[in-house]
Amino acid sequence: MRASLILLLLVLVIDAALEWYILRQIRSRVRNRKTLWWRAELWSSILFFALLVAAIIVPAGSETRGLLLTKMWLLFTFFSTFVAKLIAVIFDLLASVPRLFGHKRIKALTVTGIALALIIFLSMWWGALINRSRIDVNEVTVEVTGLPQSFDGYRIVQFSDLHTGTYGNDTTFVSRLVDRINGLHGDAIMFTGDIVNSESVELTPFISPLSRLKAPDGVFAILGNHDYGDYTRWETPQHKVANMDSLFSFYRRTGMDLLRNETRWIRRGGDSIAVIGVENIGEPPFPVYGSLTSSYPTLDDDVTKILLTHNPRHWVDSIQNNDNVRIQLALSGHTHAMQIEVGGVSPASLRYETWGGLYADSHEHHQLYVNIGAGTVGIPMRIGATPEITVITLRRRK
């Protein structure tokens, strides 16, 4: 909480400095001193500062979900303008560097900064209003050594990171997502965690659409780091326990099979594969709830295994190049590609070795697919990194 307050104060100070600089430059560069430009900038400064203050004081209780959405959009409005102003000011400062050596300011740099700031601002709002609801279906073929013959061509439809709280009571997007998933006619559907943002009550409006998910071999799910209520201040430990009990009840009502350090078997005649679902295992500050050995004690056997594990860091730390763990394919989510991906490049790569797509270790004995998620958290936008449904077709490796 203290770190958040310090960060907030830092943003306020930087924003105040940006506004002061912009006002000062407008007044010094505009020839007509009676122009309305600087007055407009002054009032816009006051407006966006008020937006931030309003967002801060909006209550954060579960009974005020409508206000939480208002808070989210207020913060996003402030953030989009803050980033645009920061870019414009940085370029203008660079344009003014030659003046330190007695030369003229480079006006082209100022113009470039203003243009870039405008592009970024419009991109952020395009990502919020349009791109975050554009569903992308990725078809992937995964070759698996030792895959039983009867499972050659088996189709798994994966989705992840719904974060239903971001949508309030509006089920439009989730309903459309469910229709797309069902329309892909997978043999099994697998959800890899983060169905809510912070509290189970967020799931209430979405029970009906999620209940429509159907596949011949079932709909399997695991929990993500956001699903445990660790991002909410609970009055007592009992309130947190009640929140989890409510979440488990919601899952039962949807008909989704929630795996909590458990294994399910999918059978085709005399052949079978194991679907292992672990609770969240990831890097700090995310608590560890999962146990791979509790989920499946004989990890070195010859059974073909599909592992659902929310955070891909678990695969990197415990499965990759580990000959004692024979898990042919793991499915993860969590990264969202940080909701930004342009030309196959994402800032998520700075934090995660495996942030989106298909990965394999040096011997290709273990493979991982990271789904970049369907929902948003924090900032309600996706620049590139469109909401993903993955269709994974299993093939026997020859």
Which pTM was predicted? 0.91
CA–CA distance, 398 with 395 (Å, rounded to integer)? 9
Per-residue pLDDT, 37: 53
* The pLDDT of residue 127 is above 80: yes
Q: What is the CA radius of gyration of the chain?
A: 25
Is the CB of residue 199 less than 8 Å from the CB of residue 227? Answer: no
Beta bridge partners of 368: 330, 359
What single-letter amino acid sits at 337? Answer: A
Per-residue pLDDT, 35: 55
CA–CA distance, 128 with 173 (Å, rounded to integer)? 13
* The pLDDT of residue 358 is above 90: yes
* The pLDDT of residue 2 is above 80: no
* The pLDDT of residue 9 is above 60: yes
Largest CA distance in the chain: 86
Beta bridge partners of 360: 367
CA–CA distance, 348 with 333 (Å, rounded to integer)? 12
Please report the domains of the chain, with CATH numbers, ordered by start residue.
2-129 (no CATH), 137-396 (3.60.21)
Per-residue pLDDT, 12: 79
Report pLDDT digits (tens) over 192-247: 999 999 999 999 999 999 999 999 999 999 999 999 999 888 999 999 999 999 99
**Burial class of residue 363 in the structure, from the number of CB atoms within 10 Å of its CB (0-12 exposed, 13-18 middle, 19+ buried):** exposed
Is the CB of residue 123 less than 8 Å from the CB of residue 375? Answer: no
- Sign, Cα dihedral of 276, 277, 280, 282: positive
Is the CB of residue 80 less than 8 Å from the CB of residue 121? Answer: yes
40 vs 309, higher pLDDT? 309
Q: How confident is the model at residue 145 (pLDDT cuts 50, 70, 90)?
A: very high
CA–CA distance, 31 with 27 (Å, rounded to integer)? 8
* The pLDDT of residue 8 is above 80: no
Is-cis flag, bond preceding 285, omega within 30? yes
164 CB neighbour count, 10 Å cutoff: 23
24 vs 170, higher pLDDT? 170
